[in-house]
Amino acid sequence: QEPRPGPRGGPRPVDTPTPTATTLPRDDGEARILEAIEQARQGERYANVSEADGRLLRQLAEAINAQRVVELGTSTGESGLYFAMALRKTGGTLHTFDIDPDRLAVARENFRKAGVEDLIVIHEGDAHVEAPKLDDRPIDLLFIDAEKEGYDAYLRELLPLVRPGGLILAHNMRRPNPNPQYLDAITGDPALDTTFLLMEGAGMGMTLKKR
Ligand SMILES: C[S@@+](CC[C@H](N)C(=O)[O-])C[C@H]1O[C@@H](n2cnc3c(N)ncnc32)[C@H](O)[C@@H]1O
Protein backbone atom coordinates (compact mmCIF):
# COMPACT_ATOMS: atom_id res chain seq x y z
CA GLN A 1 0.00 0.00 0.00
CA GLU A 2 1.25 3.49 -0.95
CA PRO A 3 2.06 5.71 2.07
CA ARG A 4 -0.42 8.58 2.42
CA PRO A 5 1.07 11.91 1.39
CA GLY A 6 1.97 14.37 4.14
CA PRO A 7 0.95 18.02 4.39
CA ARG A 8 1.18 19.89 1.05
CA GLY A 9 1.66 16.58 -0.74
CA GLY A 10 5.23 16.06 0.52
CA PRO A 11 6.47 12.94 2.28
CA ARG A 12 4.83 12.26 5.69
CA PRO A 13 7.19 12.87 8.60
CA VAL A 14 8.27 9.61 10.22
CA ASP A 15 7.20 9.26 13.89
CA THR A 16 10.30 9.25 16.07
CA PRO A 17 10.28 7.57 19.50
CA THR A 18 9.47 9.86 22.45
CA PRO A 19 12.74 10.89 24.10
CA THR A 20 13.22 9.92 27.73
CA ALA A 21 15.33 11.44 30.46
CA THR A 22 16.34 10.58 33.97
CA THR A 23 17.68 12.53 36.96
CA LEU A 24 21.45 12.37 37.26
CA PRO A 25 22.71 13.14 40.78
CA ARG A 26 24.58 16.42 40.99
CA ASP A 27 25.94 15.90 44.50
CA ASP A 28 25.98 13.35 47.34
CA GLY A 29 22.76 14.65 48.89
CA GLU A 30 20.85 14.23 45.65
CA ALA A 31 22.39 10.78 45.14
CA ARG A 32 21.18 9.75 48.60
CA ILE A 33 17.61 10.88 47.86
CA LEU A 34 17.61 9.14 44.47
CA GLU A 35 18.86 5.97 46.17
CA ALA A 36 16.02 6.16 48.73
CA ILE A 37 13.49 6.61 45.91
CA GLU A 38 14.95 3.64 44.07
CA GLN A 39 14.74 1.47 47.19
CA ALA A 40 11.17 2.58 47.91
CA ARG A 41 10.15 1.76 44.35
CA GLN A 42 11.48 -1.80 44.75
CA GLY A 43 9.08 -2.41 47.66
CA GLU A 44 5.30 -2.49 47.70
CA ARG A 45 3.75 0.53 45.92
CA TYR A 46 1.02 2.57 47.60
CA ALA A 47 -0.44 4.60 44.73
CA ASN A 48 2.79 6.60 44.55
CA VAL A 49 3.61 8.98 41.73
CA SER A 50 5.50 7.67 38.72
CA GLU A 51 9.10 8.69 38.19
CA ALA A 52 8.03 11.15 35.47
CA ASP A 53 5.38 12.73 37.72
CA GLY A 54 7.84 12.94 40.61
CA ARG A 55 10.49 14.62 38.50
CA LEU A 56 7.93 17.18 37.36
CA LEU A 57 7.06 17.95 41.01
CA ARG A 58 10.71 18.58 41.81
CA GLN A 59 11.33 20.65 38.71
CA LEU A 60 8.36 22.94 39.32
CA ALA A 61 9.06 23.35 43.05
CA GLU A 62 12.69 24.24 42.36
CA ALA A 63 11.85 26.50 39.40
CA ILE A 64 9.46 28.66 41.46
CA ASN A 65 11.91 28.66 44.39
CA ALA A 66 9.21 27.18 46.62
CA GLN A 67 9.56 27.97 50.33
CA ARG A 68 6.37 26.28 51.45
CA VAL A 69 5.03 23.18 49.70
CA VAL A 70 1.84 21.55 51.01
CA GLU A 71 1.06 17.98 50.00
CA LEU A 72 -2.27 16.24 50.63
CA GLY A 73 -1.60 12.49 50.54
CA THR A 74 1.89 11.53 51.76
CA SER A 75 1.46 7.78 51.41
CA THR A 76 4.92 6.22 51.84
CA GLY A 77 6.67 9.45 50.90
CA GLU A 78 7.84 8.98 47.31
CA SER A 79 6.45 12.29 46.03
CA GLY A 80 7.81 13.86 49.22
CA LEU A 81 11.29 12.65 48.32
CA TYR A 82 11.04 14.36 44.92
CA PHE A 83 9.97 17.61 46.62
CA ALA A 84 12.87 17.23 49.05
CA MET A 85 15.32 17.36 46.12
CA ALA A 86 14.00 20.85 45.35
CA LEU A 87 13.61 22.07 48.93
CA ARG A 88 17.21 21.32 49.97
CA LYS A 89 18.16 23.88 47.31
CA THR A 90 15.40 26.47 47.86
CA GLY A 91 15.64 26.35 51.66
CA GLY A 92 11.94 25.53 51.87
CA THR A 93 9.79 23.07 53.81
CA LEU A 94 7.24 20.43 52.85
CA HIS A 95 4.11 20.08 54.97
CA THR A 96 2.63 16.71 54.09
CA PHE A 97 -0.67 15.23 55.32
CA ASP A 98 -1.98 11.67 55.51
CA ILE A 99 -4.66 9.87 57.45
CA ASP A 100 -2.95 6.45 57.45
CA PRO A 101 -0.42 5.98 60.30
CA ASP A 102 1.09 2.82 58.77
CA ARG A 103 1.93 4.55 55.50
CA LEU A 104 3.29 7.52 57.44
CA ALA A 105 5.61 5.22 59.41
CA VAL A 106 7.10 4.01 56.12
CA ALA A 107 7.33 7.60 54.85
CA ARG A 108 9.20 8.67 58.00
CA GLU A 109 11.70 5.86 57.46
CA ASN A 110 12.12 6.78 53.78
CA PHE A 111 12.75 10.45 54.68
CA ARG A 112 15.31 9.37 57.30
CA LYS A 113 17.14 7.11 54.84
CA ALA A 114 17.26 9.96 52.33
CA GLY A 115 18.59 12.37 54.99
CA VAL A 116 15.77 14.88 54.39
CA GLU A 117 13.68 14.57 57.57
CA ASP A 118 14.60 18.16 58.56
CA LEU A 119 12.93 19.49 55.40
CA ILE A 120 9.60 17.77 56.00
CA VAL A 121 6.82 18.21 58.56
CA ILE A 122 4.41 15.27 58.68
CA HIS A 123 0.80 15.95 59.78
CA GLU A 124 -1.25 12.89 60.67
CA GLY A 125 -5.04 12.90 60.38
CA ASP A 126 -7.83 13.91 58.01
CA ALA A 127 -6.28 16.58 55.80
CA HIS A 128 -9.63 18.40 55.52
CA VAL A 129 -9.37 19.03 59.25
CA GLU A 130 -5.60 19.30 59.69
CA ALA A 131 -4.48 21.33 56.65
CA PRO A 132 -6.67 24.38 57.38
CA LYS A 133 -4.90 24.55 60.78
CA LEU A 134 -1.66 25.60 59.04
CA ASP A 135 -0.57 29.12 59.95
CA ASP A 136 -1.38 31.68 57.28
CA ARG A 137 2.07 31.84 55.67
CA PRO A 138 1.64 31.68 51.89
CA ILE A 139 1.80 28.35 50.07
CA ASP A 140 4.01 28.43 46.96
CA LEU A 141 2.97 25.01 45.72
CA LEU A 142 -0.04 22.90 46.72
CA PHE A 143 -0.01 19.25 45.61
CA ILE A 144 -3.35 17.43 45.83
CA ASP A 145 -2.98 13.64 45.84
CA ALA A 146 -5.33 12.34 48.58
CA GLU A 147 -8.82 10.83 48.07
CA LYS A 148 -10.20 11.84 44.67
CA GLU A 149 -13.67 12.83 45.98
CA GLY A 150 -12.02 15.43 48.18
CA TYR A 151 -10.12 17.38 45.51
CA ASP A 152 -12.66 20.21 45.07
CA ALA A 153 -13.04 20.64 48.83
CA TYR A 154 -9.24 20.75 49.26
CA LEU A 155 -9.06 23.48 46.62
CA ARG A 156 -11.77 25.55 48.39
CA GLU A 157 -10.06 25.05 51.75
CA LEU A 158 -6.52 25.96 50.68
CA LEU A 159 -6.69 28.19 47.58
CA PRO A 160 -6.89 31.33 49.77
CA LEU A 161 -3.45 30.42 51.20
CA VAL A 162 -1.78 29.84 47.82
CA ARG A 163 0.20 32.95 46.93
CA PRO A 164 -0.58 34.81 43.71
CA GLY A 165 1.84 33.30 41.18
CA GLY A 166 1.79 30.00 43.08
CA LEU A 167 0.92 26.59 41.66
CA ILE A 168 -1.71 23.97 42.44
CA LEU A 169 -0.74 20.54 41.12
CA ALA A 170 -3.28 17.73 41.12
CA HIS A 171 -2.44 14.11 40.47
CA ASN A 172 -4.63 11.60 38.60
CA MET A 173 -6.23 13.96 36.11
CA ARG A 174 -6.54 11.04 33.71
CA ARG A 175 -6.74 7.91 35.82
CA PRO A 176 -8.36 6.90 38.07
CA ASN A 177 -11.29 9.07 36.96
CA PRO A 178 -10.74 12.71 37.93
CA ASN A 179 -13.24 14.49 40.15
CA PRO A 180 -15.55 16.51 37.79
CA GLN A 181 -16.16 19.29 40.33
CA TYR A 182 -12.41 19.76 40.64
CA LEU A 183 -12.01 19.92 36.86
CA ASP A 184 -14.78 22.55 36.68
CA ALA A 185 -13.15 24.55 39.46
CA ILE A 186 -9.70 24.70 37.84
CA THR A 187 -10.91 25.29 34.28
CA GLY A 188 -13.85 27.66 34.95
CA ASP A 189 -12.29 30.34 37.14
CA PRO A 190 -10.74 33.39 35.41
CA ALA A 191 -8.36 33.77 38.37
CA LEU A 192 -6.76 30.41 37.50
CA ASP A 193 -4.97 29.03 34.44
CA THR A 194 -4.63 25.27 33.99
CA THR A 195 -2.60 22.93 31.79
CA PHE A 196 -2.78 19.12 31.84
CA LEU A 197 0.61 17.40 31.70
CA LEU A 198 1.96 13.85 31.40
CA MET A 199 -1.49 12.68 30.34
CA GLU A 200 -0.01 9.48 28.86
CA GLY A 201 0.36 8.39 32.50
CA ALA A 202 -1.89 9.17 35.48
CA GLY A 203 -2.03 12.82 34.40
CA MET A 204 -1.14 16.00 36.31
CA GLY A 205 -3.13 19.22 36.45
CA MET A 206 -0.95 22.32 36.75
CA THR A 207 -2.90 25.39 37.77
CA LEU A 208 -1.45 28.86 38.15
CA LYS A 209 -3.11 31.20 40.64
CA LYS A 210 -2.84 34.37 38.60
CA ARG A 211 -1.34 37.54 40.12
C1 LIG B 1 -2.33 8.40 46.06
S2 LIG B 1 -1.79 8.21 47.71
C3 LIG B 1 -0.56 9.48 47.85
C4 LIG B 1 0.72 9.12 47.09
C5 LIG B 1 1.90 10.03 47.41
N6 LIG B 1 1.63 11.40 47.08
C7 LIG B 1 3.12 9.56 46.62
O8 LIG B 1 3.19 9.83 45.43
O9 LIG B 1 4.00 8.91 47.21
C10 LIG B 1 -3.17 8.88 48.56
C11 LIG B 1 -3.01 8.99 50.08
O12 LIG B 1 -4.06 9.83 50.57
C13 LIG B 1 -4.36 9.41 51.88
N14 LIG B 1 -5.69 9.94 52.24
C15 LIG B 1 -6.90 9.53 51.82
N16 LIG B 1 -7.87 10.28 52.38
C17 LIG B 1 -7.24 11.19 53.18
C18 LIG B 1 -7.70 12.25 54.03
N19 LIG B 1 -8.99 12.56 54.15
N20 LIG B 1 -6.77 12.98 54.68
C21 LIG B 1 -5.45 12.71 54.55
N22 LIG B 1 -4.97 11.72 53.77
C23 LIG B 1 -5.85 10.98 53.09
C24 LIG B 1 -4.28 7.90 51.81
O25 LIG B 1 -4.04 7.36 53.11
C26 LIG B 1 -3.14 7.67 50.82
O27 LIG B 1 -1.93 7.37 51.50
User: Per-residue pLDDT tens for 196-208?
Assistant: 999 999 999 999 9
Q: What is the rounded distance in angstroms from the CA atom of residue 198 to the CA atom of residue 3?
A: 30
> Ligand 1 centroid vs 130 CA: distance in angstroms?
13
Contact 95, 68 (CB under 8 A): yes
Atom of ligand 1 nearest to the CA of 100: 25
Quick one: which of 166, 197, 176 has its CA closest to 52?
197
Q: What is the rounded distance in angstroms from the CA atom of residue 27 to the CA atom of residue 32?
A: 9
pTM: 0.94
Structural domains in the chain plus CATH codes? 27-41+49-209 (3.40.50.150)
Q: What is the rounded distance in angstroms from the CA atom of residue 140 to the CA atom of residue 66?
A: 5
Quick one: which of 152, 126, 117 has its CA closest to 32?
117
Residue 184 neighbours by CB distance under 10 Å: 11
Report whether residue 130 contacts ligand 1, using a CB cutoff of 6 Å.
Answer: no
The residue whose CA is least distant from atom 11 of ligand 1 is 73
Q: Please report the ipTM that was assigned to this predicted complex.
A: 0.99
Report whether residue 153 contacts ligand 1, using a CB cutoff of 6 Å.
Answer: no
Q: What is the rounded distance in angstroms from the CA atom of residue 171 to the CA atom of residue 56?
A: 11
Q: What are the tens digits of pLDDT across the range 152-181?
A: 999 999 999 999 999 999 999 999 999 999
Q: What is the rounded distance in angstroms from the CA atom of residue 132 to the CA atom of residue 115?
A: 28
Report whether residue 152 contacts ligand 1, using a CB cutoff of 6 Å.
Answer: no
> Ligand 1 centroid vs 128 CA: distance in angstroms?
12
pLDDT of residue 5: 64
Average of per-residue pLDDT values in the chain: 95
